Amino acid sequence: MSPRRIWSRQSREVQGMLLSLLSAACMGITYVASKYVLRTINPETFVVFWFAMGSIYSFLLLMKRGRQIELFRKDNPWKHLMGLGLASAVAIILFFYAIQLIDPTIVSFYTRADNVFAVLLGVLFLRERFNSFEGLGVAIALLGSLVTTYRGGDLLMIGLSLCLLSSILEGVTVVLVKLAVRKVSPVVVIFYRSLLASSLALLYGLLTGRLQMPTGKVLLIIAAASLGGSFMANVTFYAALARLDVTRATAIKTMQPFFVLLAAYLAFTTLPSSQQLLGGAIIVTGILCLLYGRRMVRRPEGVGTLVLEP
């Protein structure tokens, strides 16, 4: 292999790592903005408008690139996209209920469990290997979860249970994204994820009578935070998945709670307890063990890192 090809491959890996880290930073905006907005509207309503904004932004980006025709191709992975929309809608509603109940930093630490589920599902469905060091990482992450929840009270347990269910579904979405971006641009995936999740949440809100109309101020906050937070986080993370394997990309994203911690303190001047911070740090340590263990894995023949333009 020529030095130029080696440099090109390494350069793309570095790009993927930086994109994963940027995605984590952008998500800090999402946690803080949602905590603020959920004081006035319920999670179902928030999901409808949040994902609607995401679908608009992704459609505008496709139009700017002259690639909107990609939305209507017959060979698009429709089953994967439909599954992604459904899993995302349920996962994000549970996530926002958790945000409404407990401190956003705790939610951020605990939802890093989606890394564990993404790894396990990647092993099961994407033929990515799993070694003993990664098993140690999973065990450490579980220990961190126990430390976080020890004598935490009923409200904390309810919130963290919602986080756990949301994380399982997020692990499913990561695998579906990895499969979908083999055939379409990550921006197309974001569009359908957002459109379907918003539509399903709207249907649920109408059927249950839970749909509300936000004020103009709240809509502006949702629009701004959706662009700078969730939309940019997904664009950068899905682009990272095109350059890195699913395990490494999700493991790097474990830096997210520390960005949330800073943003939450600046916005609300609140901090979790020392026990909760310790548990969160242990969870992150466990996920980083997953990253290190993944670097020790030799990928099976024919399963390489995807290379495509986002």
Contacts for 18 with CB less than 8 Å, ≥ 6 apart: none
* Per-residue model confidence (pLDDT) at position 168: 83
In a domain, 111, yes or no: yes
- Judged against a pLDDT cut of 50, whether residue 25 lies above it is answered with yes
CA–CA gap between residue 82 and residue 72 (Å, rounded): 14
Q: Name residue 82's amino acid.
A: M
In a domain, 304, yes or no: no
In a domain, 305, yes or no: no
Other C-beta atoms closer than 10 Å to the C-beta of 66 total: 8
Mean pLDDT, all residues of the chain: 79
What b/e string do you get for 239-268 counting C-beta neighbours within 10 Å, with b at 16 or more?
Answer: bbbbbbbbbbbbbbbbbbbbbbbebbeebe
Give the lowest-confidence range in 21-25, 37-41, 240-244, 292-296. 292-296
In a domain, 138, yes or no: yes
Number of domains in the chain: 1
In a domain, 232, yes or no: yes
What b/e string do you get for 271-299 counting C-beta neighbours within 10 Å, with b at 16 or more?
Answer: ebeeebbebbbbbbebbbbbbebbeebee
The pLDDT tens digits of the residues spanning 168-193 come to: 888 888 888 888 888 888 888 889 98
Range of the domain at 126: 18-296
Residue of 289, 242, 16, 12 lying closest to 136 (CA atoms): 289
Q: Looking at residues 53-65, what average pLDDT do you find?
A: 89
Helix (H, G, I), strand (E, B) or coil at 5: helix
Q: Name residue 103's amino acid.
A: D
CA–CA gap between residue 117 and residue 96 (Å, rounded): 19
Q: Is 66 left (phi over 0), alpha (psi -120 to 50) or beta?
A: left
The pLDDT tens digits of the residues spanning 245-286 come to: 766 776 777 777 877 887 777 777 777 778 778 888 887 788
Which residue reads 């919130």 in tokens?
159
Helix (H, G, I), strand (E, B) or coil at 131: coil
Distances (CA, A) of 299 to 245, 279, 294, 295: 10, 32, 9, 10
In a domain, 59, yes or no: yes
Distances (CA, A) of 122 to 128, 157, 182, 273: 6, 28, 15, 34
Q: How many CA atoms lie within 13 A of 138 on its CB side?
A: 14
Residue of 43, 54, 2, 1 lying closest to 232 (CA atoms): 54
CA–CA gap between residue 246 and residue 237 (Å, rounded): 10
Contacts for 151 with CB less than 8 Å, ≥ 6 apart: none
What confidence tier does 128 reach under pLDDT thresholds 50, 70, 90? low
Other C-beta atoms closer than 10 Å to the C-beta of 139 total: 12
In a domain, 235, yes or no: yes
Distances (CA, A) of 136 to 96, 106, 130, 131, 170: 30, 23, 11, 9, 22
* Per-residue model confidence (pLDDT) at position 60: 92
Structure-token pair, residue 267? 């916005």
Structure-token pair, residue 193? 């994820």
In a domain, 302, yes or no: no
Prediction pTM value: 0.70
What confidence tier does 199 reach under pLDDT thresholds 50, 70, 90? very high
CA–CA gap between residue 237 and residue 244 (Å, rounded): 10
